[in-house]
Chains A and B, each alone.
Chain A
Amino acid sequence: MSDIVIQTRGLSKEYVRDEFKVVALADASIAIAKGEFVALMGPSGSGKSTLLHLIAAMDRPSSGEIAVLGQNLNTLSDSEIARWRNAHIGFVFQSFNLLPVLTALENVELPLKLTKLGKSERMAHARKALELVGLGDRMNHTPRQLSGGQEQRVALARAIVTDPDQILADEPTGNLDAASARDVLSLLGRLNREFGKTIVMVTHDPHSAKAASKIRYLDKGALLPEGQNPEDWEIR
């Protein structure tokens, strides 16, 4: 029996927009074990990003429980959450979200600014992360001087530089060409297998989802039971 690192119980998120209630996520209970690589799939608007954001504590649930690494996220204050996220979560965005005025190396170093590490240690860690994603020769390039695939690899380096236990990725290949997407997916696979990172990845693309060890489906805010997928899913 492997240890559960991400556990949600009856997790819900509702938005109120112009007096209408939108249920983004309803009563989602999921347990993800250490070292798992889970792909979240489902139609647009089904609540995939919402679930991922709640796991990353980027937002607070309307109701339900969420514990990551045994830490109940509901009980933490904003600044405690910030520190917690810095230490335990590496987040990868669809649109890379690098800071354009900083170089690749500075972007990767950034999360380490919040740690106790000194400048030279930070630099050493950042360099190592960039070398791991195969960008040792692009350290002083700014995001504008990089291709989309390279940008996303820098973003991956930034996500792993603090050596977090979880990597959460929201459609990391959504803005990439096929070759770059393959690079990013194989990197995620390596991080999962060689470094034992727990990975949760939202994706639209069934092909990308094959990189994962498990696929969970969402539909209209509901997390479908394991092994079940909506019948009409393949058509979309």
Chain B
Amino acid sequence: MAIPISYSFRNLLARRTTSLMTALGIGLTVAVLLAVSALAQGLRTSLEASGHPLNLLVTRKGSNAELYSSFTNEAFQALKFKPGIAKDSKGDPAASLELITVIVMESPENPSGINISVRGIEPRGLEIRDGARVSEGRMFTPGRREVVVGKGVAGRYPLARIGSRIPFGRGEWEVVGVLDGGRGMANSEIFCDLRQLASDQNRDNGLSSVLLRAADESSAQALINDLPNDRRLNIDVVREKDYHAQQTQSATPIRAVGTFVALIMAIGSCFAAMNTMYAAVARRSAEIGTLRVLGFPRRSILLSFFLESIFLSILGGIIGCLLVLPLNNVNTAIGSFVTFSEISFDFHVSPKIMLYGVLFAMFMGAVGGLLPAASAARKQILTALRQV
């Protein structure tokens, strides 16, 4: 059996201040890593939650993004009676012709303005986006210059509160409601009546895209495979989920920078842990000699000091988790490379991410603790006893 774990643990408590400072350093490193992970995780959750599995997004061939796509009424009429499309509550095909445009909105954080997507839809468009519902105020009235705003937008832009007027296109639009899109993309957009927006933007026959609901999985597959081959239609079909999933990459730069910073800090934290542990080994030299005289072999000494470093780092990992926990469910936004407008989402500090954080901390403790523990184990008994 080995030197009791309580020996390692109590020694950490015995030098509270040093332990805490070192743990705090490790904790900050973990916090940086966890923050970027929570950001990426939140974005992914938001994008994965966007779109019913049977929802298909139809754009003009080769346009890649909705914003570049253009879709005529005639093409829509030809499309919506294709077999395999589900029926909506009124018995009509569940296909929504939509127009998407981008406006610039100012906020206190970004006085120069940020791109926000505005989507013109027919009432059916909301039905296809199930999970989205008006949580405050009411739905816009077709034929009026009214909008409902996604709750992410509503939360961050003073101009997007119910009752205020957003100027874009040929005049002002009144905010009449807030749309709760769950964790999905609808939170990041502004919705209004398709015909109003089309005439406002002079795009009566140059709409953007179609969102449709397939009747079932095999129909979805068939639509994805067959529609693009129809030369007359000249369209691409992707699942809404897949389309949004491309945008996960939008977090890549922040993630890369965050990870890089965390790595640099991790190197520093390893050295801090090493420094702390070397000091502990030096201060407890006589204790090491005593343990050896009592009969503890070198490997017990190694293990004991190694464990002490691991405990120290676990403490740091926990501090790191506590530091980022307040970020959980905090709303933020990131620019998308696909839509060229903001995606709004919540930080998601999941238990899994926290576990990784603690493991990362333990890794730092292991790297930093190994050399000091080895030096403690290498000491000659008499040399160790003589050093005070």
Contact = CB atoms under 8 A, between A and B. Distances in A.
Contacts of A102: 4, 6-7, 10
B290 A99 contact: yes
A193 B341 CA distance: 92
Contact of A97 (B7, B290, B297): B290
5 contacts: A56-B293, A97-B293, A101-B6, A102-B7, A158-B294
A86 B294 contact: yes
Residue of A53, A95, A97 most packed against chain B (CB within 10 A): A97
Which of A56, A99, A102, A106 has the most chain B CB within a 10 Å cutoff?
Answer: A99
Contact of B10 (A79, A83, A101): A101
Contact of A91 (B7, B10, B293, B382): B293
Given A99-B7, A102-B7, A82 B290 contact: no
A85 B380 CA distance: 15
Interface in A34-88: 53, 56, 58-59, 78-79, 82-83, 85-87
Contact of A114 (B6, B11, B295): B295
A78 B378 CA distance: 12
Interface of B: 1-4, 6-7, 10-11, 13-14, 286-287, 289-298, 380-382, 385
A97 B380 CA distance: 17
Nearest 10 CB-CB pairings of A with B: A86-B295, A101-B10, A97-B290, A82-B297, A58-B381, A113-B1, A111-B294, A79-B297, A82-B295, A85-B295
A113 B297 contact: no
Counting chain B CB atoms within 10 Å of each CB, the highest count among A56, A58, A106 belongs to: A58
A100 B289 CA distance: 14
Contacts of B14: 100-101
Contacts of B13: 101
Given A53-B382, A113-B2, A113-B4, A93 B295 contact: no
Interface string A158-169: 100000000000
Interface of A: 53, 56, 58-59, 78-79, 82-83, 85-87, 91, 93, 95, 97, 99-102, 106, 110-111, 113-114, 158
B287 A82 contact: no
Contacts of B6: 101-102, 106
Given A59-B380, A100-B14, 7 more contacts: A58-B292, A79-B298, A83-B295, A86-B294, A87-B295, A101-B11, A101-B14
Query: By DSSP majority rule, is chain A's interface helix, strand, loop, or mixed?
Result: helix
Contacts of B11: 101
Contacts of B295: 82-83, 85-87, 111, 114
Given A58-B382, A113-B2, A93 B294 contact: no
B347 to A, nearest CB: 40
Tell which of B3, B293, B294, B385 has the most Cβ of chain A within 10 Å: B294
A187 to B, nearest CB: 19
B372 to A, nearest CB: 18
Nearest to B4: A113
Given A99-B287, A99-B290, A106 B297 contact: no
A113 B297 CA distance: 12
A91 B291 CA distance: 11
Contacts of B292: 58, 82
Contacts of B294: 85-86, 91, 110-111, 114, 158
A145 to B, nearest CB: 14
A105 to B, nearest CB: 12
A145 B291 CA distance: 21
B128 to A, nearest CB: 66
B384 to A, nearest CB: 10
Nearest to B14: A101
A100 B283 CA distance: 12
A82 B290 CA distance: 12
Given A78-B297, A82-B297, A113-B4, A59 B382 contact: yes
Contacts of A158: 294
A101 B297 contact: no
Contacts of A91: 293-294
Given A99-B7, A101-B11, A58 B297 contact: no
B10 A93 contact: no
Given A58-B293, A78-B297, A93-B290, A113 B381 contact: no
Q: Name which of B295, B296, B297 has the most chain A CB atoms within 10 A of its CB.
A: B295
A97 B285 CA distance: 11
A208 B55 CA distance: 95
Contact of B1 (A79, A106, A114): A114
A95 B385 CA distance: 11
A233 B216 CA distance: 106
A85 B289 CA distance: 13
A58 B288 CA distance: 13
B290 A114 contact: no
A74 B295 CA distance: 17
Contacts of A83: 295, 297
A59 to B, nearest CB: 5
Contacts of A113: 1-4
Contacts of B287: 97, 99
